[in-house]
Structure 1
Amino acid sequence: MTNEPYDLRKVLKELKEMPGQYHETNLEIDPHAELSGVYRYIGAGGTIKRPTQEGPTMMFNTIKGFPETRILTGIMASRKRVGKILGHDYRTLGHLLKDAVNHPVKPVKISRDEAPAQEVVHLSTDPDFDIRKLVAAPTNTEYDAGPYITMGLVYGSSPDKSISDVTIHRMVLEDEDTIGIYIMPGGRHIGHFQEEYEKLNEPMPITINIGLDPAISIGATFEPPTTPLGYNELWAAGSLRNEPVQLVDSITVDEVGIARSEFILEGEILPHERIREDINTNTGHAMPEFPGYNGDANPALHVIKVKAVTHRKDRPIMQTTLGPSEEHVSMAGIPTEASILNLVDKAIPGKVLNVYNPPAGGGKLMTIMQIHKEGSADEGIQRQAALLAFSAFKELKTVILVDEDVDIFDMNDVMWTVNTRFQANQDIMVLEGMRNHPLDPSETPEYSPGRIRFKGMSSKLVLDGTVPFDLKSQFERAAFKDVENWQKYLED
């Protein structure tokens, strides 16, 4: 197994050897709302409506309506499990990803005969072709706009093929060969390429790659400025594994797919065409998003026409995630930590020891920064670090600053800091009129009349819980004796 290239199946073999990290069931499950409803209790975590918990990744082997497909969810719904998957301390995964970006390993192309993802081919010209019967895309709730691909990695390139990139989007199956894709305005490279194609009035060839090594899924969620236009996030994924991601030429479009995927959908984003997201359900909802609320159905999604579906022949695995789950925190939060560390290490090296984007912010809206002050000259550097964090990631809304004796992964410790090393009249910074994530429902003119001009604008918050350097001696934690071999007292 050690000589096999990494893919989802290799990772699952490894997880099965780790107690408590993997569970599968042969009981039949309905992909319409039931599967997500079940996993909510077992291991979703994040900002899912309570009750929920951290639990194993879950493989559902018997899917109603899809006898040949399995569905996997939650493989990254635990930061500690992500650490195990990547062979790294979960507390410093941000540092690991930062280093991966700075030491890229570029993909390689293999032949179609070598690509497991193309073992079975379904063409749109087949008389019975229907993506809704070929792709076991679940709905998260009974009110979703339709079945969603939530873990599909879109691969696309500029019209001249000089640069390429990958991005995860929410995509809803609309009819037998049509997918609606939400491309968030501003900055993501797939959106930039699509705009170039639209100016040329040409369709943009893409592949949608499903069922991937988590190193690829996490590596693919970087954003500018960490990975500027021209940087393909698959380079970072290759670095995480110290082996190149394998690509393969598509069968029906002029683009490549990830060769060791479970599924590849080949298609084109049509120019100047849009579709209402909930055209089939009229619920007004899209699907649950990372802030924990149902996203509003978008009136004008971009349109993908699917030309082919290819997959592995041995019970391919449909990979899915619950929008507000801990899995989103891993995919969005850890690369954001890396982006922040990358910027602060260049601007104020040695002053930010670690960064954590907790589930409370869905991985995007909140970060906790651990600050190191060496002398009085460093006083104030912590607030500059917060401003750098906002620069590194525009969707960040709240920064909490703590000292190096605080465990940033323990929210009790973080809130203890806010309660004992913080005064609201002097340790709060509020930055108004800034751009943030459009899925935060509080960012509307109606919510804050006169303060928010357009949807997606926000106030940013800094809570400075660091002790002034000249007062450090007054804030030393109670010292307990260090005891070696304390574990022996737990033995029988």
Structure 2
Amino acid sequence: MAEQPWDLRRVLAEIKDDPKQYHETDVEVDPEAELAGVYRYVGAGGTVERPTQEGPAMMFNNVKGFPDTRVLIGLMASRRRVGKMFHHDYQTLGQYLNEAVSNPVAPVTVAEQDAPAHEVVYKATDEGFDIRKLVAAPTNTPVDAGPYITVGVVFGSSMDKSKSDVTIHRMVLEDKDKLGIYIMPGGRHIGAFAEEYEQANKPMPITINIGLDPAVTIGATFEPPTTPFGYNELGVAGAIRHQAVQLVDGVTVDEKAIARSEYTLEGYIMPNERIQEDINTHTGKAMPEFPGYDGDANPALQVIKVTAVTHRKNAIMQSVIGPSEEHVSMAGIPTEASILQLVNRAIPGKVTNVYNPPAGGGKLMTIMQIHKENEADEGIQRQAALLAFSAFKELKTVILVDEDVDIFDMNDVIWTINTRFQADQDLMVLSGMRNHPLDPSERPQYDPKSIRFRGMSSKLVIDGTVPFDMKDQFERAQFKDVPDWQKYLK
């Protein structure tokens, strides 16, 4: 018998009986700010306003205004849960994804009858077509620019169809058949394809795929140089699952869709057309972004003209909270893999593990565990930090620690800074570098001397590793190993 294809429903079936990982409710919830507001307390974590915590994913079965739709949030808002869903140790997910990038399994196209994503089809030519009534996209806060698709995987190709790619962007529902999409300048392949179409003054066909196996969602967030132009990140998901991702031809566009997605929106990125992000609310805000602040509404988003909405029967709308632990899993784990790939090429064996913690939203901070074998390795840790910045330009802070430090325990990491660090010797500051434009401190008025344009930053290296010739003076207190310690808790 053929193996069941991987999709969101197969993943949920594996975790639904674990109350620490999954919870569903039939209590009615309003998708306008209330749904995200509830999950803020239950399990959002990350850089979300306190109080928050790490908790189970939540399925809301009774969503106001959408009687036939369930909304899932927080599926990836726990690194341990991601490890469980990937059948892998959560502490080495970076290495696991690094291997997947190096050994991709290309997607395959299946026949229409084998694509549950097309079980229900609505076309823009149908009377009464309105994406705002068909797609239960929540708002995160009362000042959001509108309902957002926060975890939609956009599939697009170059004009000659020689290259295809998937990326995730924030997309706001603006009208009955119109989305605004924010494509961050530089680095995203979809943006390069869209520029090619715009120069030719032609609309670019795309599909937006929502409600997916997290292997697809997390794999889609890889960026150059780890996945160079022309690399389709669906191959990463294929490698994680040892099973090709299934695609199907679009219903109304000449583009592929993910055959087992819960929802698919088809349409075109329109050339030389822009829209004010908060045109319906005029709040000046977009939505909460990963650093923990509301993003500013963009005055000129690119426009997607929607031509169809398709979905599975009893469909699941999936959403994320921008600053949550979920973003850390989606962006942080692939970043760890990217850093490991580059440092392993340049200085093999010297970086044993990497962690991008929630404090940096998965993008701005990394903790690197360093292996010093002899005196010739002294200084290699700072070389590793520079390589990390090269691997991922949006990285802002690198903390270097020894092998006896648990990089997943921030108390242990901060202990290192307090006992193995001297600020006048072990601090490196690199000015005038590029970083992430969503960091609100990266504005010229914050530091006119080094920040000439928004998105520039000073970068920080905190070297908390012990000098090799002093290692014997920094041995932690050694306690007796008691292998059967758990018997004392019975």
Q: Which residue is equivalent to 1:434?
A: 433
**Counterparts of 1:53 and 1:17, CA distance in 2:** 21
1:113 Cα deviation (Å)? 1.2
Cα deviation code 1:328-380 (max 9, x no counterpart): 00000000000000000100000000000000000000000000000000000
Give the TM-score, by structure 2 length: 0.99
**Counterparts of 1:468 and 1:446, CA distance in 2:** 39
Contact 2:19 2:56 in 1 (8 A): no
1:197 Cα deviation (Å)? 0.6
Report how many aligned residue pairs link the two structures: 490
**Counterparts of 2:245 and 2:53, CA distance in 1:** 33
Instruction: Within 5 Å, give how 1:216-295 maps onto structure 2.
Output: 216-295=216-295
Q: Which residue is equivalent to 2:8?
A: 8
Q: Which residue is equivalent to 2:168?
A: 168
1:33 Cα deviation (Å)? 0.1
Instruction: Within 5 Å, give how 1:98-247 maps onto structure 2.
Output: 98-247=98-247
1:283 Cα deviation (Å)? 0.1
Q: Secondary structure at the match of 1:426?
A: helix
**Counterparts of 2:20 and 2:402, CA distance in 1:** 33
Matched, 1:337 2:336: yes
1:179 Cα deviation (Å)? 0.1
Q: Secondary structure at the match of 1:174?
A: strand
Instruction: Within 5 Å, give how 1:44-55 maps onto structure 2.
Output: 44-55=44-55
Letter in 1 for 2:300: A
1:463 Cα deviation (Å)? 0.1
> Identity of aligned pairs, percent?
76
1:17 Cα deviation (Å)? 3.0
The alignment yields a C-alpha RMSD, in angstroms, of: 0.8
Instruction: Within 5 Å, give how 1:451-470 maps onto structure 2.
Output: 451-470=450-469
1:19 Cα deviation (Å)? 4.0
Q: Which residue is equivalent to 1:387?
A: 386
Instruction: Within 5 Å, give how 1:18-29 maps onto structure 2.
Output: 18-29=18-29
Letter in 1 for 2:147: P
**Counterparts of 1:251 and 1:72, CA distance in 2:** 26
**Counterparts of 1:42 and 1:484, CA distance in 2:** 34
Q: Secondary structure at the match of 1:466?
A: coil
Q: Which residue is equivalent to 2:367?
A: 368
Cα deviation code 1:236-289 (max 9, x no counterpart): 010000000000000111100000000000000000100000000000000000
Q: Secondary structure at the match of 1:122?
A: strand
Give the TM-score, by structure 1 length: 0.99
Q: Secondary structure at the match of 2:466?
A: coil
Matched, 1:354 2:353: yes
Q: Secondary structure at the match of 2:424?
A: coil
Letter in 1 for 2:49: K
Unpaired runs of 5+ residues, structure 2, are none
Letter in 2 for 1:275: I
1:2 Cα deviation (Å)? 8.9
Q: Secondary structure at the match of 2:175?
A: coil
Q: Which residue is equivalent to 2:397?
A: 398
1:451 Cα deviation (Å)? 1.6
Moved over 3 A (4+): none
1:486 Cα deviation (Å)? 0.5
Cα deviation code 1:374-416 (max 9, x no counterpart): 0000000000000000000000000000000000000000000
Cα deviation code 1:170-224 (max 9, x no counterpart): 0000000000000000110000100111111111000000000001001000000
